[in-house]
Amino acid sequence: MQKLALIVIFSSLLFSQTLNQVIRTALRHSPIIKQRKLEIKEAQLKKKKAVASKYGELDIVGSYTHYNIERTLAPLPPSAMKSPTPPTTTKDIYSIGLNYSVPLFTGFAQTREIEIANLARELSRAKLKITKEELIYNIKSLYTTILSLKELYRAQKNYTKALYSLKRKVALGVKYGKLPEIDLIKIDSEISASKVNEEMFKSNIEVTKATLSSIVGKEVRGVAPIRFRVKRPRYSVKRLYKEILKTQKVRIDEISIEKAKKGIKKAQALKYPQVALNAYGGKNFGKDINTDDWDSETIWQVGVNVKYTLSDFGKRDATIELAKVGKIKASLKKQQTLLELKKSLVKAVSDLKLNYNQYLGNLSSYRLSKKSKEIEEVRYESGVVDINDLLLARAKTQLARAKVIQSKYEYLKSRYLLDYVLERGEK
């Protein structure tokens, strides 16, 4: 029997995963993490696109045009009038060439676009960090819940074993006429109730493991114990609030404000003249209507275009005002984020202190219940009390033990919650 128990324990340890292993697996396989990484790549590509737009476009262009009267393949210069050879004329002109266009001045709109793309990339990285923190906290919370349920399950099994041991002792008393047979029936009833609780804990463990596996993105077959001590929390909300200001949640709002500022400057660029360079080089082809021979002419040109909008009936002003409203909204969002984070910080610290005190209180109650149970056992054996008093004392002790286990792991969860608020989970 001992060998079998050792084999079971060894097998459970062999297939168990530590908390850090589960977290590493989740960071590799979680779809939401992969999605955030793709958003970073998307932001990098948008920046690349914005930078590339500064260098313009080089296009291959071609056309075919039919005219109602004949045309020359190229505009006639004054020198052509003096040439004895008449120029080629045709009604059908084919052309092919290269066209290059590049903006020379856009009111710094392109520069702002690149700056916004840089901020978007930083924003994506901050969102990835927050997503990782959320994922890690959820994993830690579920992992801790499983450990708590497993310990409760073991405690319940030990309670069932203790009831069987009591039943054997009472059975001897009944056999020799010292105890009433009704005591055995009451113990059997308590054993049945204890087994129901065992199954409940076992079922909850499987459900929680399945939930954890769905978050991780891979099956979690077992969990390994976490060694920790329940220590008095000594945290100052005022000191921890300074860490809040450095979190990625705040940084996201700061980036949004910066993006809004750049958006205003980009909108103001519409009030500047737009200057562009265009260059073309190619050939025109056609069949001379007089000689029926094909001929061609090389054509190239370079030009600078300037465009300045005198009036768009308030469109530019509305665009600028819209960008300014976006900046105000981003600033208000940051204020709201700071208030919510402070509330979360106060709650996390308060919960940690509360769970610590509850653990101490439950531990004290458990010790008293244990002593009370021992006294009731002696009194029952002496015939001073009946089986109801003894079973009640045992049930109270078991309940007190369960509260100690629960409060211990609730304390650990509170620590994890504080780490999540301060974005320390990945450290």
Residue 254 lies in a domain: yes
Distance CA 280, CA 57 (A): 12
Domain containing 278 equals: 56-79+87-105+274-307
For 392, counting Cβ atoms within 10 Å of its Cβ (0-12 exposed, 13-18 middle, 19+ buried), the class is: middle
Distance CA 154, CA 272 (A): 76
Residue 6 lies in a domain: no
Task: Mark whether 324 and 259 lie in a shared domain.
Answer: yes
pLDDT score at 88: 84
Distance CA 197, CA 200 (A): 5
Query: 285 forms bridges with which residues in the sheet?
Result: 94, 296
Task: Mark whether 217 and 300 lie in a shared domain.
Answer: no
Distance CA 192, CA 210 (A): 27
Evaluate whether 417 touches 231 at the Cβ level (below 8 Å).
no
Residue 427 lies in a domain: no
Q: Which long-range contacts (CB under 8 A, 24 or more apart) does 87-90 make?
A: 88/286, 88/288, 88/295, 88/297, 89/288, 89/289, 89/290, 90/286, 90/287, 90/288, 90/289
Q: Which of 427, 394, 353 is nearest to 186 (CA)?
A: 394
Torsion angles phi and psi, residue 301, rounded to 5: -155, 150
The whole-model pTM stands at 0.84
Task: Mark whether 37 and 116 lie in a shared domain.
Answer: yes
Task: Mark whether 65 and 197 lie in a shared domain.
Answer: no
Task: Mark whether 142 and 209 lie in a shared domain.
Answer: yes
Number of independent structural domains in the chain? 2
Please give the chain's pLDDT, 427 residues, in tens. Answer: 444 443 344 444 445 899 999 999 999 998 999 999 999 999 999 999 999 999 999 999 999 999 999 888 888 776 666 666 778 889 999 999 999 999 999 999 999 999 999 999 999 999 999 999 999 999 999 999 999 999 999 999 999 999 999 999 889 888 888 888 899 999 999 999 999 999 999 999 999 999 999 999 899 989 999 999 999 999 989 999 999 999 999 999 999 999 999 999 999 999 999 999 999 999 999 998 888 889 899 999 999 999 999 998 999 999 999 999 999 999 999 999 999 999 999 999 999 999 999 999 999 999 999 999 999 989 988 888 888 888 999 999 999 999 999 999 999 999 999 999 999 988 7
- If DSSP codes are grouped into helix, strand and coil, which group holds residue 383? coil
**Diameter of the chain by CA atoms?**
145
Q: pLDDT digits over 104-127, tens only? A: 999 999 999 999 999 999 999 999
Strands 274-287 and 57-72: unpaired
Torsion angles phi and psi, residue 307, rounded to 5: -130, 130
Residue 413 lies in a domain: yes
| Token pair belonging to 8 | 């079971």
CATH number of the domain to which 380 belongs = 1.20.1600.10
Task: Mark whether 266 and 393 lie in a shared domain.
Answer: yes
Evaluate whether 321 touches 264 at the Cβ level (below 8 Å).
no
pLDDT score at 15: 53
Task: Mark whether 301 and 405 lie in a shared domain.
Answer: no
Task: Mark whether 330 and 412 lie in a shared domain.
Answer: yes
Residue finishing a domain among 260, 289, 307:
307
Q: Which long-range contacts (CB under 8 A, 24 or more apart) does 18-23 make?
A: 18/224, 19/139, 19/140, 19/143, 19/223, 19/224, 19/226, 22/139, 22/143, 22/212, 22/216, 22/220, 22/223, 23/136, 23/139, 23/140
| Token pair belonging to 192 | 């049945």
Residue 259 lies in a domain: yes
Task: Mark whether 180 and 322 lie in a shared domain.
Answer: yes
Distance CA 173, CA 193 (A): 23
Residue finishing a domain among 285, 307, 329:
307
Task: Mark whether 157 and 242 lie in a shared domain.
Answer: yes
Task: Mark whether 153 and 295 lie in a shared domain.
Answer: no
For 32, counting Cβ atoms within 10 Å of its Cβ (0-12 exposed, 13-18 middle, 19+ buried), the class is: middle
| Token pair belonging to 398 | 């078991």
Residue 4 lies in a domain: no
- If DSSP codes are grouped into helix, strand and coil, which group holds residue 302? strand
For 280, counting Cβ atoms within 10 Å of its Cβ (0-12 exposed, 13-18 middle, 19+ buried), the class is: middle
Beta carbons within 8 Å of 204's beta carbon, 6+ residues apart? 149
Beta carbons within 8 Å of 181's beta carbon, 6+ residues apart? 174
Q: Which of 118, 157, 106 is nearest to 271 (CA)?
A: 106
Residue 31 lies in a domain: yes
Task: Mark whether 75 and 129 lie in a shared domain.
Answer: no
What are the distances in angstroms from CA 56 to CA 59, 268, 281? 10, 22, 16
Beta carbons within 8 Å of 363's beta carbon, 6+ residues apart? 404
Distance CA 121, CA 72 (A): 54
Residue finishing a domain among 283, 307, 331:
307
Residue 26 lies in a domain: yes
Evaluate whether 303 touches 326 at the Cβ level (below 8 Å).
no
Q: Which of 406, 399, 410, 412 is nearest to 365 (CA)?
A: 399
Query: 61 forms bridges with which residues in the sheet?
Result: 97
